[in-house]
Amino acid sequence: MIDALNSMLDSLMDSAYIKSLPFLYEGLKLTLLITIVGLFLGFILGAFTGLGRLSKNGFIRGISTIFVEVVRGTPILVQVLFIYFGISEDLIGVNISALTAAIIAITINAGAYIAEIVRGAVHSIDKGQYEAGRAVGLTERQTMRYIIWPQAFKRMIPPLGNQFIISLKDTSLFSVIAVGELVYQGRQYYNATFEVFETLVMVCIIYLMITIPTSVILRRVERKLDV
C-alpha cells in the first residue's frame, strides 16, 4: 500500500502539471505585483476623480467625467498598447518598460471604475448626515472627512473587492506587450514543452485559487458590515 502511494506521489510530482509550477509561480508574482500596486494607485486616482464628479466646480466635474467616460469606454488592451507604444515613443520620447506600462494601465482603468464606486458610495449617504455635520459646526471638508467618508468607505469595500478580481484577470491581457505575468509565463512554458493542456489547466487553477477565496471573504465581509 505504501509503495503504491509512493509510486502515485512520484508520478504526480513528475507530471507536466507539477513541472510547470515553478515557471507559473514567477508569472504569479508579477501578476500580483501589477494588480496590487495598480489598484493601490487606482484607488487614490479613483477617490479624487469620484469626489471630483461630485464637485460643485463645473470644470473639475467636467474633467473628472470625461476621464471616467473615456477610460470606461475603451478596452484596457487598447489602453496598455497606447501607453506602451503610443505615449512612450510618440509623445514623451522615452521608452516605458512593459511592467511600468502594465501598472499604469491598471491604475488608470481601475481608477475610472473606482471613481464610480466612490461617487456612488458618497452619493448614497443620506443628506441628513451632511446637515448634521454642519449643524455641529463642522466645515464642508470636515463633514466629508469625519462623517461622510467613513460611512461611504464601508459601502465601497465589496465593490472594491470585485474590482480586485477584475483587475487581476485583466493582467492576462498584458502578455501582448511581453509582460511576464501568469498567462505569458504559461505560454512560454507550453511553447517550449508542447504541454498546452496541462499548463493551461494549472493557469486556471492558480487564478481560481485567488479569485474563489477572495469572493468568499468578500461575501463574509459584506454580511458582517451589513452593506
pLDDT for 100-127, tens place per residue?
A: 999 999 999 999 999 999 999 998 888 8
Report d(CA 124, CA 152) in Å as an integer: 8
User: Across the chain, where does the E strand assignment appear?
Assistant: none
The residue ranges of the chain whose pLDDT is under 70 are: 1-14, 88-93, 226-227
Mean pLDDT score of the chain: 88
How far is residue 19's CA from residue 34's CA, in Å, rounded to a whole number?
A: 25
Helices (H), 14-97: 16-19, 21-53, 58-72, 76-81
Q: Which three cell numbers stand for residue 121?
A: 458610495
Name the grid cell of 156: 465601497
- Domains of the chain (ranges plus CATH)? 23-225 (1.10.3720.10)
Fill in the DSSP letter of residue 14. T
How far is residue 210 from each of residues 31, 204, 207, measured CA to CA in Å?
11, 10, 5
Output the pTM of the full model.
0.89
Query: What does the pLDDT look like over 37-72, one tens digit per residue?
Result: 999 999 999 999 999 999 989 999 999 999 999 999
CB 64 within 8 A of CB 130: no
